[in-house]
Amino acid sequence: MHNARIAGFFFFVSLLTCTNLVGAQDLDPGENPIFRNIFTADPAPLVHNDTLFVYAGHDEAGEGEMFNITEWVAYSTTDLKNWTYHGPVMEPTDFDWAISDAWASQVIEKDGSFYFYTTVQHGPPHEGKGVGVAEADTPLGPFTDAKGSALVYDAMTPTPEDPHDWDDIDPTAFTTEDGTTWVAWGNMHLYLAKLKPNMTEFDGPIREIYLPNFTEGPWIHKRKDTFYLSYPCFAHQNMFEKICYATASDITGPWTYRGIIMDRTENSFTIHPGIVEYKDQWYFFYHTAQLSIDGVSGAMGRRSVSVEYLHYNEDGTIKPIEKTQKGVSEPPNPTDEYKAPIFHPDAPLVTVDSDIEVTQNHGTADSSWNGNPAIRTTEEPYQQTTASESFNSGENGATQMGQTFTVESDLELEEISLYAGDGFGTTEDEPATLALYEVTEEDPADSSYTVGKNLLGPGEEMRINYEPQGRGLLKLQLAESRQPTLNAGRTYVLEVQGVRGSAPLFWRRTQSDTYTEGAAYRDRSLIADDSTTADFGMALYGK
């Protein structure tokens, strides 16, 4: 599943230390990690008859190696305490068109056959990751290529200005009550497509779902009349992965973001959900890197599968899940109240009195600015603003994110649109505040600027009320008393200010110079990618 080239992740390597390791001999049946003979990752549960199967990638990374996953293995149980290891069920090269990387997968049953949707590294003539589908007559295979080519490869899901070639990873499959099977997958972009009855071709277009903080590894399940879509979140925003989720009444949405149900794991920045109901009890599978096998410590590429009981609130939302060593070794207690230590779904967002009327984007990613802005920093914000910035960005974090701009003719500023998305939302301790200054001095040597008086006035009434959204427009309408006149020929800077190290929202920026009359700044220092200046996604409206 997870590629080392994800932007901003190299700094994690030095931070990962082997803490709280346990040896296989120290664990009782049902305690975590549940698989102890080899290192395993990306668990995918399947119930067939009275047996629960779990498929996983075999982690084999050596010292200094990030990921080396060469095969998929299977385990089975009838009590979740005693597991049978069945060995490998497939390798990437069992697909003639693939060359390596047994990344995340899922097996589903339909009409007596078992379909294995999985991630591999595609071979020539295509580049990057691809999703393959294999088929077998039994849950344990042998699985063989059901299509003879990839179900999806990188060129089928193009994002021209975001050319990372591992966005086609981590498939999850689900069959609805009408017999239609859907597949969802992705990294940073979440895709969904309907399958034809043959289970090896798409029946219609690939669509994109826009969920806050989505990174990768989606998993779809259904309980009663509600669909649940769980996914690792925040990794593309310089944070360790957690598990977020959303709900919908239909698999195609609209999806409602519900927040975080599991905090980060140990010794690895990745985590991966697998959710299943078995014998009238729901279970949540995931991986950590807590296991030590024969003196070899768990690590980012030597992970181990664990499981916890999963419980629902009366309204159908999922109760936050604590990672434990006891796992399922003891009977479930649905009355246990666990609140994740940080950023749990019940964390209150704060609505403050503000002179800004906020209109948020929900469900779709706007591909263009609304109306006719007087100034815009990008032509196609969805395609061009591919990097995310917040107050946790940079080496030491920041308290300001700013975009400079030059006014061609006098402008009475009425409305501002930011291209934003993701984040934890604004709280009392982690606010976001809007400010606007005339630039009084630019210092090319330091690539910085000096500001004068805040043209929007006192900042306390300029706080932004924001709850997490997928990428899209964040429309900010200024109160009439806050609408300054900007003078032709002058340079100004719009800043979003906040608490250093926090991430209430992410302002998306380009990785190239799309606006020649200004640039993006972090803590009033120029942001440059490979010596190329960048621009925050911003549009200004007025008369």
- What pLDDT, on a 0 to 100 scale, did the predictor assign at position 339? 53
What pLDDT does residue 343 have?
44
Q: How confident is the model at residue 11 (pLDDT cuts 50, 70, 90)?
A: very low
pLDDT recorded at residue 162: 59
Judge contact between 106 and 174, C-beta under 8 A.
Answer: no
Helix ranges, 344-474 (H): 381-384
- Could you tell me what percent of the chain has a pLDDT over 70? 91
Local confidence band at 346 (pLDDT 50, 70, 90 cut-offs):
very low
What phi and psi, each to the nearest 5 degrees, are found at residue 294?
A: 50, 40
How distant, in Å, are the alpha carbons of 331, 394, 511, 513, 532 from that of 528? 54, 11, 8, 9, 5
Q: Residues 13-26: what's their mean pLDDT?
A: 56
Cα 413 from Cα 541, distance rounded (Å): 6
Domain 10-310 and domain 356-542, same fold? Reply is: no
- Is the pLDDT at 15 greater than 80? The verdict is no
Q: Whole-angstrom Cα distance, residue 532 to residue 511?
A: 7
Reported in sequence order, the residue ranges of 128-241 that DSSP labels E, i.e. its strands, are: 129-136, 144-145, 152-153, 172-175, 181-185, 190-194, 207-209, 219-223, 226-233
pLDDT of residue 345 exceeding 60: no
Give per-residue pLDDT as tens, 356-382: 999 998 777 788 899 999 999 999 999
pLDDT at 529: 77
* pLDDT band at 338; cut points 50, 70, 90: low
10 Å CB burial of residue 1 (0-12, 13-18, 19+) is buried
Third-level CATH fold of 356-542:
Jelly Rolls (2.60.120)
Please tell me the distance from the alpha carbon of residue 37 to that of residue 54, in angstroms, as a whole number: 15
Which of 21-25, 143-147, 373-377, 527-531 shows the lowest per-residue confidence on average (mean pLDDT)?
21-25
Q: Which run of H or E residues covers position 10?
A: helix 10-13
Average pLDDT over residues 414-436: 94
Q: Rounded mean pLDDT of the chain?
A: 90
- Reported as type and span, the H/E element at residue 242 is strand 242-248
In whole angstroms, what is the distance from residue 138 CA to residue 365 CA? 41
How do the domains of the chain map onto residue ranges? 10-310, 356-542
The pLDDT value given to residue 119:
95
Please state which CATH number belongs to domain 10-310. Answer: 2.115.10.20
Q: What is the pLDDT of residue 458?
A: 85
What residue type is 487 in one-letter code?
N
Per-residue pLDDT at 10 exceeds 90:
no
Name the band, by pLDDT with cuts 50, 70 and 90, for residue 164.
Answer: low
pLDDT the model gives residue 255 = 94
Residue-wise DSSP of 497-542:
EE-TT--S--EEE-SS---TT--EEETTEE-EETTEE--B-EEEEE
Task: Considering only residues 11 and 428, tell me which one the structure prediction assigns the higher pLDDT.
Answer: 428
Number of residues in the chain: 543
Predicted local confidence at residue 336, as pLDDT:
64
The residue that leads in pLDDT, 348 or 25, is 25
Cα-Cα-Cα-Cα dihedral sign, residues 212, 377, 511, 14: negative
Look at residue 18 in the predicted model and tell me its pLDDT.
43
End-to-end alpha carbon distance in the chain? 50
Average pLDDT over every residue of 115-129: 95
Q: Where do the DSSP E strands lie in 101-194? A: 105-110, 113-122, 129-136, 144-145, 152-153, 172-175, 181-185, 190-194
Pick from 330, 260, 266: which is nearest to 304 by CA?
Answer: 266
Structure tokens at 150: 């990839």
Positive/negative CA dihedral, 526, 527, 528, 533: negative
Does 176 or 10 have the greater pLDDT score? 176
- pLDDT of residue 160 exceeding 70: no
Q: Is the pLDDT of residue 433 over 70?
A: yes
Band of residue 27 on the pLDDT scale cut at 50, 70, 90: confident
Query: What is the distance between the alpha carbons of residues 218 and 185, in angstroms, rounded to a whole number?
Result: 6
